[in-house]
Amino acid sequence: SEGIIKDEQRQRLLVVANRLPVSAIRRGENAWALELSAGGLVSALLGVKQFETTWIGWAGVNVQDDVGKESLSRALGEEGFVPVFLDEQTVDLYYNGYCNNVLWPLFHYIGLTQDDRLAATRGLEAQFNAYKRANSIFAQVVLSHYQKGDVVWCHDYHLMFLPRFLKEAKSEMKVGWFLHTPFPSSEIYRTLPQRSELLQAVLKADLIGFHTYDYARHFVSACTRILGLEGTPDGVEDQGKLTRVAAFPIGIDAERFVRALHTSTVRNHIQELSRRFSGRKVMLGVDRLDMIKGIPQKLLAFEKFLEDNPIWHDKVVMVQIAVPTRTDVHEYQKLSSQVHEIVGRINGRFGTLTTVPIHHLDRSLEFYELCALYAITDVLLVTSLRDGMNLVSYEYVACQDQKKGVLVLSEFAGAAQSLGAGAILINPWNIVEAACAIADALNMSETERQERHRHNFIHVTSHTAQLWADTFVSELNDTVVEAELRILR
Ligand code: G6P
């Protein structure tokens, strides 16, 4: 009975994100295979277990028939997930188009060429309309699951209109919005044709959160410069109504990784990998195959390192896990060929009959394989050109309490602000500097490695995903209470 009472007291939370933590693959009229989705948003939110959570999102599959919709809803419902169904054209315009070909590159300071941008302008209006349409479909699903008192937590750049649609339907709803990407300088953001509508829509939330203080500051500047609103230390004020804006750095479920390392499956796999790579230092990259991750830059830095350090040729191996993502978007297809070409060139140049310097995998790993790989790795390379936070760096640190390996981390990842003191920070555009960082990391003394690791391990195990969600949700509750008091006064 104690369990029941506790359950009743748990805060009900509706998490709304474009993607569900699992993506569905159809295996028959009523049969579905569910695969874990990739990315930091999913991995962090899956660690949040303290609320009674319903997760609303797209299952990554086009389902038109009622039988299919019903059977998928049932399969997902067992896990606490509610699907949002989007037709193929909406997905193409909203997800491939506006989200991943417009907002994503812009928020990450990725400059499309003038020609690409001009070409993109043509379809932009249709994409933006589809974006709004998709957001209103999400809103309908949220409203049909909403109960009084629920906290509704909207996530990421896909859903900037959601706070507006939800508040228009139910003004008393507690609505938070969190951005998992950087928010760019207002000088970049203001080139977006739909800049005002998006800001106005998202400002309808009660609380807006970012990973870092800088992103929050950029957002407030965009609101003051573009909308002429007043920025205060607490957020943005519009005719007496305050939208609270603050930084809430995300984390991981560190315990899950630390625990996994003690299981026999992971331990056996660690032994196997150690045998496989014995006599060589292991460098690792784990990324979605995305233009923001700087994978070509990472490979060029490794190539430069091999050129400058022949002594290391048969003593080091680089493993790059590049999980395919957004494969219908042209830029991602281009990147894939580019990466394969560079890997081929480096392996051709520096490989021997029996070994190659780079093991490149175009797929994700099972959780136990990933933990084992993190655990045996000497140097993790994170070379993001921009990255909201980058939780791969956190996962690596969580798995390194034995080995105390080195994290080489881009200064353009949000994580540079939290793990900067323990990592070697680099500008990934500076190939020479990055190549030197690789050499420094491989040559670092044990004492220095221990000291750097200790700093990061304390951070990763204390600033967890659970703490992140607790802080955001309690701040959202407080913000709503304060707003009600202000009205009474
Ligand atoms: C990033 C985004 C997430 C997204 C993930 C995977 O982490 O912030 O919102 O879910 O990438 O990308 P995808 O397009 O496959 O959902």
Q: Is 21's C-beta closer than 6 angstroms to any atom of ligand 1? A: no
pLDDT in tens, 73-82: 999 999 999 9
Q: Is 181's C-beta closer than 6 angstroms to any atom of ligand 1? A: yes
pLDDT in tens, 178-208: 999 999 999 999 999 999 999 999 999 999 9
d(CA 73, CA 176): 25
Q: Give the predicted TM-score (pTM) of the model.
A: 0.96
- pLDDT for the residue numbered 8: 55
- Interface predicted TM-score (ipTM): 0.98
Give the closest residue (by CA) to ligand 1 atom 5.
39
115 an active-site residue?
no
pLDDT in tens, 254-269: 999 999 999 999 999 9
Q: 28-35 long-range contacts, Cβ below 8 Å, gap at least 24? A: 29/67, 29/68, 29/71, 30/67, 30/68, 30/71, 31/71, 32/71, 32/72, 32/75, 34/75, 34/76, 34/79
Q: Is 72's C-beta closer than 6 angstroms to any atom of ligand 1? A: no
Using a pLDDT cut of 90, give the percent of the chain over it: 89
Give the closest residue (by CA) to ligand 1 atom 8.
180
- pLDDT for the residue numbered 3: 41
Residues 176/208, Cβ–Cβ less than 8 Å: yes
Torsion sign (Cα): 425, 471, 184, 108: positive
Q: Is 180's C-beta closer than 6 angstroms to any atom of ligand 1? A: yes
Q: Which of 155, 158, 180, 211 is catalytic?
A: 180
Q: What is the distance in A from the centroid of ligand 1 to the CA of 313?
A: 36
Q: What is the distance in A from the centroid of ligand 1 to the CA of 467?
A: 21
Q: Which of 387, 453, 459, 463 is catalytic?
A: 387
Low-confidence ranges of the chain (pLDDT < 70): 1-8, 112
440 an active-site residue?
no
- pLDDT for the residue numbered 273: 98
- pLDDT for the residue numbered 5: 44
**Tokens matching residue 223:** 């609101």
Q: Which of 37, 56, 286 to mutate to test the pocket of ligand 1 (most atoms within 8 A of CB)?
A: 37
Beta strands in 260-361 (DSSP E): 281-288, 316-323, 358-361
Q: What is the distance in A from the centroid of ligand 1 to the CA of 379?
A: 25
